Structure 1
Amino acid sequence: MSLAQHIQDAWNKQASWLIVLRPLSWLYRLGFNLNKSLYKSGIKTVYKAPVPVMVIGNITVGGSGKTPLLIQLVKHLQQHNIRVGVISRGYGGQGPFPALVNRLSEPDTVGDEPALIVQSTSVPMAVGPNRQASIELLLQSHTLDLIISDDGLQHWALDRQIEWIVLDQNRGLGNERLLPEGYLREPKARLSHSTVIYHTKAKAAQVSNNMHLQIGLPYLLNKNLDSVLFDREKYFNAVVGIGFPERFYQTLSQIGVIQYQAHEFPDHHDYEISDLTFDNQDAIITTEKDAVKFKALLSQNPNFNIPIWVVPVEAVLSSDCYELLKQQLQQVGIQFF
């Protein structure tokens, strides 16, 4: 297990030894506040895009359900004839940047989450660490009403008109400490300055702006094994490389998969075929985010015949979320049709 995975595990368990990292958290806070003040004071330049920008992010390290939420919002906007585009840092991608993303883009080039977003929605999308360059590249080839920034909540160089923060109620804020003692990117007070979408286990009446993940039927990734049937009672190799693996294990439990060997990898892991090769011949079960990387591996290794089952999830948003979105877009001049 890598150092990063050890720390991730300690965060999830709120291990007491993390207190030794508190001096580093103080340095992180100092650097974070200094950088933010340089943008707020105008010493550093803030880019204002020619169309409204909506940022969807989180204040925690690791998964919060942000990508399924973004995919669902894009589909909703497309259904209402709003011309939406998406930008992203492209974590895990090697570039060159900025780059446009299409349905054939390789995750190794543009990142796993951008590849998944475009494969799910066909939305115009550009990736790269320079958000301004990504927006300008996107607008060169598309006329857009709105740009959604996938993550970038702490990217102060980008002006934004709408901010949504996804907060996983199951995971919470841990020990409420900043990096690296805890997994907060910003103090929890940040939640009072943006729209918070609460990711709950199921429909929740206690908070109006909420979402939950609806689990779909597992599907087979191997096109050459289409005769294989899914059997939840069999033993699986659960391969997962996301920020909060525990959520995937909870998903497996919900669909009745309880016999599996967990194989955890870092978030945005660059998989090799050896990562999918185990001493046993049990089927693999994984997430959609990981699966976008496995597709290329299967095409490069046509003799790989271990079934790979993918568990799809879809964000289900409360009606209040959609009503709030409509109001916020109207405030920046975007009308629903």
Structure 2
Amino acid sequence: MIEKIWFENHPLKYLLWPLLWPLSKVFGLISRSRRQSYQRGEKAAYRAPVPVIVVGNITAGGNGKTPVVIWLVEKLQAMGFNPGVVSRGYGAKAPSYPLLVADDTSTSHCGDEPKLIYKRTQAPVAVDPIRANAVQALLPLEVDIIITDDGLQHYALERDIELVVVDGKRRFGNEQLIPLGPLREGVERLAEVDFIITNGGEAQTNEAAMMLQPSLAVNLKTGKQMPVSQLRNLVAMAGIGHPPRFFHTLEQLGADLVYSQGFADHQDFQPPQLAELAGRGTHLIMTEKDAVKCSEYAADNWWYLPVSASFSDQDESRILERIKQTKEHYGSPSA
């Protein structure tokens, strides 16, 4: 219902407005005060010895940040850099911090997104609620660029480049701050960032249009790949910020969907729960982010659909050139 109030102008907003409006104002006051304290130097912020790139958003929920992080890592690796990724590990609890993600790291310790980034890129990934500590854990691994998965509002870590990812269809909803609306910061914050990346929909002036390109479906047990359209009687599930986006992608690929089930972002699944869901059809298909949590107990008929971010040559060149220039500045004697 909150999502409907935020993004669909549901009539219930008139009932809840008197309750949520004051809370929204308090949230905004605290948020602005906190940021200003860092800007004035009243709170200390950590400056890394290498460039820091933040991939974040100004709205609550997922907008497609993780595919952008993966795209950046892969592009920088191809350019000869050694990027590392830091994350707070949302929804997870590690035995100790900072945590360096490895092949055998449980998603319950590192979180689904850090594990996905590590599996896709093999780049060093460190998790810590205090991102400065995660950065320092990566430095001995000779990383030369840091990318933070989320963290636009984590002002305790200084940054060189800010990329904000926007849901191109839902945009900013009613443009109100949490809890009255979906905003973590006001839309005026966008005037200060380096790049605005629009995921789907229609990019506006000075925004970089991003498309999520799906590939073949991958079997969780065997790694076998095949087109989604060849999997009959599909049951789809998605524990991401906006599950309908995933279901719409499947429909565009000609999927034979018999049932779809959305879950909360970062949902912690139980094997019996998914086995019951899979029984509604012949095959179960999920996002790659969900798959990293389910691979150990997956059945033979469970699949996931990888997606990859893509940009126009012009936008790709703009983003990567800016990063390259920033890196060169760090390498200069005056840096």
| Fold conserved between structures, TM > 0.5 | yes
Aligned match of 2:328:
334
Q: Give 1:331's aligned amino acid.
A: Q
Cα 1:233–1:154 shift into 2, 3 Å: same
Aligned match of 1:31:
30
CA contact 2:228–2:254 (8 Å) conserved in 1: no
Residue 12 of structure 2 aligns to a residue whose secondary structure is helix
| 2:322 pairs with 1:323 | no
Cα 1:125–1:192 shift into 2, 3 Å: same
Equivalent positions of 1:1-337 (< 5 A) are 6-18=1-13, 19=17, 20-95=19-94, 96-140=96-140, 142-194=141-193, 195-201=195-201, 209-223=208-222, 232=230, 234-257=232-255, 259-278=257-276, 280-282=279-281, 283-298=283-298, 304-305=299-300, 307-334=301-328
- Deviation, 1:200, is 2.5
CA contact 2:216–2:228 (8 Å) conserved in 1: no
Q: Give 1:183's aligned amino acid.
A: P
Q: Give 1:92's aligned amino acid.
A: G
Offset from partner CA, 1:223-246 (integer Å, 9 cap, x none): 39x699965573322111101111
CA contact 1:216–1:312 (8 Å) conserved in 2: yes
CA contact 1:201–1:213 (8 Å) conserved in 2: no
Q: Give 1:109's aligned amino acid.
A: H
Q: Give 2:313's aligned amino acid.
A: S
CA contact 1:200–1:211 (8 Å) conserved in 2: yes
- Deviation, 1:122, is 0.2
TM-score, normalization by structure 2:
0.89
Where does structure 1 differ by over 4 angstroms across 4 or more consecutive aligned residues?
204-208, 226-233
CA contact 1:82–1:146 (8 Å) conserved in 2: yes
CA contact 2:259–2:280 (8 Å) conserved in 1: no
Cα 1:41–1:261 shift into 2, 3 Å: same
CA contact 1:87–1:134 (8 Å) conserved in 2: yes
- Deviation, 1:198, is 1.8
CA contact 2:56–2:165 (8 Å) conserved in 1: yes
- Deviation, 1:72, is 1.0
Deviates more, 1:100-109 or 1:288-297: 100-109
Size of the alignment, in residue pairs? Answer: 321
Offset from partner CA, 1:238-269 (integer Å, 9 cap, x none): 11110111111111111112533222221111
Deviates more, 1:273-282 or 1:151-160: 273-282
Cα 1:9–1:128 shift into 2, 3 Å: farther
Mapped partners of 1:205, 1:174: distance in 2: 16
Offset from partner CA, 1:74-126 (integer Å, 9 cap, x none): 11100110121110111122113210012332211100000000100000110
Residue 328 of structure 2 aligns to a residue whose secondary structure is coil
Offset from partner CA, 1:265-295 (integer Å, 9 cap, x none): 2111111102203273512111001011011
CA contact 1:39–1:156 (8 Å) conserved in 2: yes
CA contact 1:239–1:263 (8 Å) conserved in 2: yes
- Deviation, 1:73, is 1.1
Deviates more, 1:208-217 or 1:56-65: 208-217
Cα 1:277–1:192 shift into 2, 3 Å: same
CA contact 2:84–2:145 (8 Å) conserved in 1: yes
Mapped partners of 1:284, 1:45: distance in 2: 48
Q: Give 1:77's aligned amino acid.
A: L
CA contact 2:228–2:255 (8 Å) conserved in 1: no
- Deviation, 1:35, is 1.0
Q: How big is the alpha-carbon RMSD for the aligned residues of Structure 1 and Structure 2? A: 2.3
- Deviation, 1:205, is 9.6
Residue 290 of structure 1 aligns to a residue whose secondary structure is helix
Cα 1:9–1:249 shift into 2, 3 Å: farther
Q: Which runs of 5+ in 2 are unaligned?
A: 330-335
CA contact 2:217–2:227 (8 Å) conserved in 1: no
CA contact 1:92–1:107 (8 Å) conserved in 2: no
Aligned match of 1:3:
none
Q: Which runs of 5+ in 1 are unaligned?
A: 1-5, 299-303
TM-score, normalization by structure 1:
0.88
Mapped partners of 1:238, 1:190: distance in 2: 36
- Deviation, 1:334, is 3.1
Mapped partners of 1:205, 1:132: distance in 2: 34
- Deviation, 1:17, is 2.3
- Deviation, 1:162, is 0.5
Mapped partners of 2:253, 2:293: distance in 1: 23
CA contact 1:58–1:165 (8 Å) conserved in 2: yes
